[in-house]
Amino acid sequence: MKNVATILVKKAFKKGYAKSSLNAFFFLTIRKHDTYHMERRGCMDMNGLSTGRRSIKNMGKSNFAGIEGFPSEVLQKYKINVTEGKKENKFWLIKSREKSYAAWEYTSNIEILEMSLKWQDYLRQNGFTKILPYVKTATGENYVKVNKKNYYITEFIEGKPLDFQRREDLLELARTLAEIYACSRNFEYEKIGEKEISWLKIKQDRLTELLFFYQYLSDKKLINDYERLYMENFKTYYNRGQEAIEKMVMAGYNPSNKAQTIVLMGNFLEENIVKINSDLMFLHATSCIKGPMIMDLSLLLCMCLPKHKWDWELAKDIIMEYQKKVQLNMNEKYMLLAQLYFPRRFWMYSYRYFKGDGELNNITEKLKKYLYETYWQDKCLNKLENWMLEEENNEYEG
Amino acid sequence: MNMKDENNITLASEELNVAQQVLEGEGETWVILRWKEQVSAEPISEVLSASAEEFNCYVDYKSIEKSYYRGQIDIVVNYNTSDLNSMDIAAKEVGEEEYFCRQLFYSGKGIETESFDREQLLQETGFSTLMEDGKPSERREKITKGDRAWEVQSPWGAWLWGTGEEQEATIKKVHVAQVGLYSILVEVVIKLEIRQDVSENEKQSIASAVEEETIYNIKDDSIEEVLGMPIARGFWSCAYKINDKKLILKNFKKIVMVYVSSIKGGERLRVASTVKEERMLIEEGFEMFCPVNIKVIKSNEEIILMSSRTLLHREVNYCMLKWELKKKQ
């Protein structure tokens, strides 16, 4: 083993690998080499689990315990010859000799998971392949339930993570988003999830909570800067929220109109999207919820524009890129503005403050930055609104 | 005749009145003026100075037992603002925040205050503050449009109870604090006072001299400095102990503490108070009728801050009585 390693190290230096990547390379090589011998000796089963002797993954431990934190019962249900596995940030990375997989724990509503997996099937049937496919179990199930928790496995490909600072990445994401909508707009999900979600009501409820919080504090001595900032700015943001709701109504939003509601991707975290050459690939798509299709685009804009000081040119370019595939009508544009106007994060910080979730200084600092951000957001949204109106007038005149 | 009264009393914080809060006591009145306003469209970075452009006071009405004071005050606060264009607005994790916000927005269970322990979140401010002792110096230069300055002008008025030599009204403290990104709070405390020395004539009518020594506590704040303790008495009632030939005087007494809170941020010129029942036993006070006038003058007042929540208050109270029918010699 020592000789093999020495030769590999020397070769690696000749090829000019950095020292850090060399360490990882060296480690993986030894692991693969050792696993190979263990397989030949017949001490691993089909799922890569040890049948008695110690696996190289668990050297130093007396008993084999599978991948750290991941239930071995789940792996046993899949036809995957596991050679190694480790915990990543949000998933467990599992490798067989042929492929890599990501194993995910799902803790939310199971109906949403079922809807999401069926939606992914539908997208794939319609030619959209930018979500890594999930893997069925040996018995054809989509996910596995162990100890009241649900697990599912998707294929995994290494790639460069998406960068919200890069304009090209954002435009590509807008194109991908439009493709998703184009491929899934006719997806029927009536039988999945009985409850209709009224975003109008949710927004009104959240505003009521803000009002409740304001009233709670109004007859008390304010005891920290968070409360001072909240009380100083409450009226502005409450009115802003009301304005957003009005805009939603003006846009003709009707929750009972199923034509307006689709399944939304709902997750544009940089870590969930990788770039493979020029294409984007979603690692998973189980954060989805139902809502007006414009909500995905608004979420994307809300996630990326603060990093660009709400650059209105960028916002316009993203929307135009989206419109190359899916043309927005006036109502949808109004709906988009309504989503962008709504002070969601103002609500979230107060929610976290009242729940005691997070460190006070941190929440205060974030609220402060959000208040600064509004200055830029207002500038951007005013220009966007004018541009949308102009565009509409031009179409009308044309 | 001397009596020593030792107590340990808890004072409760009073609600803050915006615009004007008047605290009347015997021979002294405290006026706290407050202004809070959104003064800037850009975020305030620092409060630089506060100056009194004008402060005047005159007696508008006077009777035997009280006077009404009127005045005008004009304070100018200078501040600096930050340039939004040069500020970094986006936290690194802003994208994640928006994502979690969407999730929480949909699934949030609502805000409940029942399990919320707010007292744990008490924290000193990170915004700038300014505390001036006495009347801050007047500005020499005139304010011009576009200056980062906020001017507050207000008339004020208050009753001062008691008789004696009237003292000049004085500004005791001026407190300026940034209370948000765009807002400033100004607090001014003014003291009106009458010197109530016991004259030689009045010494004849002193019925009792009570030396009081009381420990006061405050639970929900922390004291940096006690400015004054005006005391108001009312609801007098008299009774006689016929066998001992003693007069029993009963009344309610409101004790107010005007103090500077040591917790920076927001209102710092604060008020705490309590009401207690007072009982005085006047020996040789047996008469046919009850006294028509009762006057209590405090003397040798001493306030010692023992800790940030406890103080010792010492004073001697002279109680003077007047009967309608002259007391037999």
Quote the DSSP letter at residue B27.
T
Show the tokens assigned to B300.
Answer: 């040798």
Mean pLDDT of chain B: 85
Helix, coil or strand: residue B167: coil
Query: H-helix or E-strand containing B175?
Result: strand B170-178
Q: B56, B60, B78: which is closest to B68 by C-alpha?
A: B60
pLDDT, tens digit, 9 for 90 and up, residues A272-326: 999 988 789 999 998 888 888 899 999 999 999 999 999 999 999 999 999 999 9
Q: What is the mean pLDDT of residues B252-280?
A: 93
State the pLDDT at residue A289: 83
State the pLDDT at residue B197: 72
**B69 touches A313 (CB < 8 A):** no
Angstrom CA distances, A327 to A67, A123, A320, A331, A341, stand at: 47, 20, 9, 12, 21
Asked if A371's CB is within 8 angstroms of B181's CB, the reply is yes
Report chain A's C-alpha Rg in angstroms: 25
Q: B142, B101, B194: which is closest to A346 by C-alpha?
A: B101
DSSP, residue by residue, A73-94:
HHHHTS---EEEEEE-SSSEEE
Backbone angles phi, psi at B7, to 5 degrees: -140, 165
> Does B1 contact chain A (CB < 8 Å)?
no
Angstrom CA distances, B270 to A102, A140, B33, B133, B327, stand at: 60, 71, 11, 15, 45
Please name the residues in contact with B232: beta carbons below 8 A apart, sequence gap of 6 or more: B24, B25, B26, B161, B253, B254, B256
Asked if B111's CB is within 8 angstroms of A213's CB, the reply is yes
Nearest-CB residue to A216 (from B100, B113, B180): B113
State the pLDDT at residue B165: 84
Question: Would you place residue B324 in the very low, low, confident or very high pLDDT band (cuts 50, 70, 90)?
Answer: low
Question: Would you place residue B285 in the very low, low, confident or very high pLDDT band (cuts 50, 70, 90)?
Answer: low
B230–chain A nearest CA distance, Å: 23
Backbone angles phi, psi at B93, to 5 degrees: -95, 25
Backbone angles phi, psi at A145, to 5 degrees: -105, 125
- Strand residue runs (E) in chain A: 82-87, 92-96, 100-106, 134-135, 144-146, 149-156, 160-161, 261-264, 273-276, 279-282, 289-292
State the pLDDT at residue A179: 93
- Strand residue runs (E) in B196-268: 206-218, 223-228, 231-241, 246-261
Question: Would you place residue B311 in the very low, low, confident or very high pLDDT band (cuts 50, 70, 90)?
Answer: very high
Q: B18, B178, B142: which is closest to A368 by C-alpha?
A: B178
Say how many CA atoms lie within 13 Å of B294 toward its Cβ: 21
**A388 touches A337 (CB < 8 A):** yes
The more confidently predicted of residues A255 and B47 is B47
Query: What's the distance, Cα to Cα, between the start and end of chain A in Å?
Result: 76
Asked if B95's CB is within 8 angstroms of A344's CB, the reply is no
Q: Is the dihedral of CA B194, B199, B202, B206 positive or negative?
A: positive
The interface predicted TM-score of the complex, written ipTM, equals 0.83
Residue in B86, B111, B127 to test binding to A, most A beta-carbons within 10 Å: B111
Asked if A360's CB is within 8 angstroms of B121's CB, the reply is yes
Query: What's the distance, Cα to Cα, between the start and end of chain B in Å?
Result: 19
**Alpha-helical segments (H) within A266-343:** 294-304, 312-325, 330-341
The more confidently predicted of residues B142 and A115 is A115
- Residue B13, pLDDT above cutoff 70: yes
Region of A127 (left: φ > 0; alpha: ψ -120 to 50; beta: rest) is left
State the pLDDT at residue B1: 38
B307–chain A nearest CA distance, Å: 21
Please name the residues in contact with A372: beta carbons below 8 A apart, sequence gap of 6 or more: B43, B84, B87, B89, B181
Asked if B266's CB is within 8 angstroms of A351's CB, the reply is no
**A384 touches A301 (CB < 8 A):** no
pTM: predicted TM-score of the whole model, two decimal places: 0.80
- B249-261 as b/e: b if 16+ CB within 10 A: bebebbbbbbbbb
Q: What is the mean pLDDT of residues B292-306?
A: 85
Nearest C-alpha in B relative to A366 = B91
Q: B96, B98, B84: which is closest to A342 by C-alpha?
A: B98
State the pLDDT at residue A132: 92
How many A-B residue pairs are in contact by the CB < 8 A criterion? 140
Nearest-CB residue to B91 (from A213, A226, A366): A366
The more confidently predicted of residues A197 and B235 is B235
Show the tokens assigned to A389.
Answer: 């109106």
Question: Would you place residue B231 in the very low, low, confident or very high pLDDT band (cuts 50, 70, 90)?
Answer: very high
Nearest-CB residue to B123 (from A224, A269, A306): A224
- Residue B64, pLDDT above cutoff 50: yes
Residues with pLDDT less than 70, chain A: 1-65, 189-196, 258-259, 398
- Residue B256, pLDDT above cutoff 60: yes
State the pLDDT at residue A144: 93
Question: Which residues in chain B are closer than 8 Å to A164, comparing Cβ atoms?
Answer: 95
> Does B12 contact chain A (CB < 8 Å)?
no
Q: B5, B11, B32: which is closest to B309 by C-alpha?
A: B11
